[in-house]
Structure 1
């Protein structure tokens, strides 16, 4: 069973979710993925980087145990410390430059896999001769132990690797057939299961290390694993000061492709001004988490390039459909036409984002631009809809925001002004992140701003939050008639045409119901020192990064 805390974090904490990208776009000329940022010949991520790579993030992980990690911030170190059966696929852009495709999964520790005709059994053939740093064989028994452990703990990792099927779990049984063969039996067909395995939640841990340090207790996280590693990956954890810094060193005995850097110094810099200063002083090779203003100030510089990437992180105004005035669909629709989206994009995001209106973002496969394109600001239409809603008297709404979040504060001010014009008075209520979580995930809020996004890069996983009526993940208390059945088709059918048709209809139904306001698709701006080899990945993967 998944705890209430886990439920809250499956959708990623608003400030902890760092937007990933379908394609990393260089704001300055000359920076390409997996190529030096000065535009010279490709570094290609080969081994032998003797100069330490200095990397900074704005939000520290709460755990480095892949079975318990809930956010992309929790995943940053685990992707370097562990291997998975599969990894996000790779493709090339129009210029032949490698890039990551998070909508596909390629072999990693599994050399290959087959799926039974009924979609219920996956058979993985593993690499041979791999060992953990302890000398323990990395084999089918280790894979079984790792997947069983993640499910037994019942944390975020279980929800992710089970693709949000929780009762019963998607993974019904894992069998070590022989040292190099593993079968995974599912409780229901799920064509997107490989994508879940390609996340940190699918990491393979060293059973001997885990058992020597607390083992497995059903329903409880392993406290030792929260700050130590039992790794299988290309890096070892040389040192770790939670919330402050970590040092990763290359494992010379790793059997997979060696990492590009011998050592990576990771720091967590919580103050935007401090991170900006470190970038300007040349102290950082890669910096993630800068504010939009700070990122904008770096554009055009001689030493640093800014790479903007968009993925699934989107800013929403929740309008819980069971609470007044949002139980009136006309009022919800009026709000969506009264918001000056372009103003928010230009003045709050400094252009780092994209506009759309629908249940899944443009970056996600299955997005239908014909029905989910940007909603146009139309004050006259908004006023007409309020008139049709038949609402009498003043409407007052309390909008919960996260205290200290500059973007949310700016957006809230814009919403106050724009919604006042259609007769809705907005009282902004800044809350601590924990209090905000209690209000939103406890379904107590009347309205809230939130930056949302899924842990697995597929529409079926993400839509499972809001398209099933009456479940705890459904923070907007959304119940669009017919969408639950359509979601079942999206989740389980192996017929791509049927899945596409169902997904298109689901989006059309959602847009017609106007269940929440989608303000924008967020973009993260990463500052990269020129000459640094940097390859974008939706889940930060530092294996190919290399200092100039």
Structure 2
């Protein structure tokens, strides 16, 4: 029987079993089955990845030098690096590696692999290079600054003054320095691409799981690494399945066909809270839902127009009706809960004020534009809500939906008008993490290609603001640093930015009670190596 025919029979059998009244499915005890929306899962290459979905996969295929404790983010946990030192002047980080780690290929992991992986990020200059470029690394200096003095020692010399603790947080939070098997990747290089094409659908890690197969927008399977240096994972296989419809996810986890489900609609999440055999786990992340404007467009380059848009968003209405389970009201670029985060400025829908601003800008009758949005929730509902309030001021906005690559791809090319999105890092427990992703833009030229900086994507640039961000990072007096970050937020607000935060992300995950030790990570780096399942009714 052909592969497609076999797949069809399996799907039909699944549908029939789900539809059968009273049928209670059960996933295998040695497998973890996760349901999610994979529309934004575009590549498995750690250097090119964007979005929380892929981060959660990459950290289970690869190991990093250090990790952040999910229960206390500022607690750094040893991983490939058993210990590390910071020089007295704060300019040199030295990591001392374990000597018993092997890649999935069987090749030993050494300092040269760590160095090559770091160099690759800068030379490729894809999404994850932006973080390291903000620290001053470039493809011209990385070969000199990141070195391996011996087989199990890595030395990183910071190219400019930085907060070394933030650099360590970045190594643990981002998952982007997943250490690659340099020999394996180099054997798959095509046209000097550093193995990027091959790694888009393959992996070369040393992590607790080994990639079995990935079929885009269908299924991704990982099997346990029996030789993992921390010990073999507690489940033999992890299967991630793509579901675009929230109601399908709800039905599947209710029936027991899934162990974990994410990316669900608020109504379905709330309904599942009442199920005694399910637990809803909500974790607040540092990323923001936002409405972004492209300042390369003459309309949005006008501060009066941007200010009008700021008053054409029903922040309270959107958060009350659309965001429970997805996010909480937040209008600042620095995530909530930080000592430096100012209270929200309190912007709210004001049609009359917006109309007056548009008239001052030369658009008394409004104008036509477009809003780009993922076709998933809550993005699409936010876009529809914004479209409705824009219309009340005469702005006719056509909604363009698509996949992550289509929507964020246009943003990375700076070819969009308005966009409803989510971003902002906030993964490291430091204010700079949010500012770097949402505000900082050290070079606004098209050639800079700072594609992982939302500031660059929107063409929002202010030299003084960049300098204030640089200075705050280096401030050693804690109280002065807090004041510096608050001053940054005040200036950002006065500049009428091109990116308007409206809600801070809450990630709601539904978990069956037989799944144990599943700990959602605030930085999206959810580790699955300790997860296990107890048979139904059995106490752990």
User: Which bracket does the TM-score occupy, shorter chain normalised?
Assistant: 0.7 to 0.9
Classify the secondary structure of the residue corresponding to 1:317. Answer: strand
**Deviations 1:389-426 (Å, cap 9, x if unpaired)?**
465631224132236345344333333443444x3423
Correspondence 1:414 to 2:385? yes
Shift of 1:493: 4.6
Q: 1:189 & 1:258 partners in 2: Cα distance?
A: 41
Within 2, Cα distance between the matches of 1:137 and 1:263?
24
The alpha-carbon distance between structure 1 residues 197 and 427, as it changes in their structure 2 partners (threshold 3 A), is: same
Counterparts of 1:215 and 1:441, CA distance in 2:
25
Identify the residue that residue 293 of structure 1 maps to in structure 2.
267
2:488: which partner in 1? 506
Q: How many residues align?
A: 486
The separation in 2 between residues aligned to 1:354 and 1:414, in whole angstroms, is 16
Q: Which residue of 1 aligns with 2:466?
A: 484
The 1-side partners of 2:355 and 2:76 are apart by 47
1:284 offset after TM fit, Å?
Answer: 1.1
CA gap of 1:395–1:376, structure 2 versus 1, over 3 A, is: closer
Aligned to 2:162: 190
Q: Which residue of the partner structure matches residue 364 of structure 2?
A: 393
The answer to whether the Cα contact below 8 Å between 2:180 and 2:205 also exists between their aligned partners in 1 is yes
In the TM superposition, residue 527 of structure 1 has moved relative to its aligned partner by 1.0
1:368 is matched with which residue: 327, 331, 341? 341
After TM superposition, the structure 1 = structure 2 runs for residues 138-537 of structure 1, keeping only pairs within 5 Å, are: 138-160=109-131, 165=136, 167=138, 171=142, 172-191=144-163, 192-198=166-172, 199-211=174-186, 213-215=187-189, 218-256=192-230, 258-321=232-295, 323-350=297-324, 352-362=326-336, 365=338, 367-370=340-343, 372-378=344-350, 382=354, 389=360, 391=362, 393-402=364-373, 404-421=375-392, 423-433=393-403, 436-437=407-408, 439-454=410-425, 457=428, 458-465=430-437, 466-468=439-441, 470-472=444-446, 473=450, 474-480=456-462, 482-515=464-497, 516-533=499-516, 534-537=518-521
How has the CA–CA distance of structure 1 residues 327 and 79 changed in structure 2, closer, same or farther, with 3 Å as cutoff? closer
1:133/1:352 Cα in 2 relative to 1: closer, same or farther (>3 Å)? closer
- Residues 1:127 and 2:98 are matched in the alignment: yes
- Taking structure 1 as reference, are residues 418 and 155 closer, same or farther at Cα in structure 2, changes over 3 Å only? closer
Bigger RCO (CA 8 Å, 6+ sep): 1
Q: Quote the offset at 1:59 in angstroms.
A: 1.1
- Tell me by how many angstroms 1:82 deviates: 1.4
Q: Give the root-mean-square deviation of aligned CA atoms.
A: 3.2
Does the Cα contact within 8 Å between 1:67 and 1:201 map onto a contact in 2? yes
Query: 1:63 is paired with a residue of what secondary structure?
Result: coil
Give the conservation status (yes or no) of the 8 Å contact 1:338–1:379: yes
SS in 1 for 2:197: coil
Q: 1:59 maps to which residue?
A: 38
The verdict on how the C-alpha distance between 1:220 and 1:493 changes in structure 2, with shifts beyond 3 A counting, is farther
Secondary structure, counterpart of 1:151 in structure 2: helix
Aligned match for 2:87, one of 116, 120, 141? 116
How far did 1:281 drift?
A: 0.9
Residue 221 of structure 2 aligns to a residue in which SS?
strand
Deviations 1:252-295 (A, max 9, x none): 32222553323322222233332222112111111122222322
1:84 aligns with 2:64: yes
Residue 69 of structure 1: aligned partner: 49
Alignment-derived partner of residue 13 in structure 1: none
Q: In structure 2, do the counterparts of structure 1 residues 143 and 417 end up closer, same or farther at CA, with 3 Å as the change threshold?
A: closer
Unaligned runs of 5+ in 1: 1-48, 91-98
Distance 1:494 1:168 in 2: 29
Structure 1 residues 411 and 245: CA distance shift in structure 2, 3 A: closer
TM score, norm. by length of structure 2: 0.80
Distance 1:217 1:106 in 2: 38
- Asked if the contact 1:233/1:254 (under 8 Å) is kept, the reply is yes
Gaps of 5+ in 2: 1-27, 451-455, 535-540
Give the secondary structure class of the aligned counterpart of 2:466: helix
| Cα distance in 1 for residues equivalent to 2:266 and 2:236 | 32
- Structure 2: how far apart are the matches of 1:431 and 1:352? 19
Alpha-carbon distance between aligned partners in 2 of 1:298 and 1:157, rounded to the nearest angstrom: 36
* Alignment partners' CA distance in 2, 1:442 and 1:133: 36
Decide whether aligned partners of structure 1 residues 55 and 369 sit closer, same or farther in structure 2, where only a CA change above 3 A counts: same
SS at match of 1:84: coil
Comparing 531-540 and 489-498, the one that deviates more:
489-498
The C-alpha deviation readout for 1:196-215, integer Å capped at 9, x for no partner, is 2223221122334334x325
**Aligned equivalent of 2:12:** none
Mapped partners of 2:463, 2:354: distance in 1: 24
The reply to whether residue 543 of structure 1 matches residue 515 of structure 2 is: no
SS at match of 1:200: coil
User: In the aligned structure 1, how far is the partner of 2:325 from the partner of 2:228?
Assistant: 42
Q: Which residue of 2 aligns with 1:44?
A: none
Structure 2 residue matching 1:273: 3-state secondary structure? helix
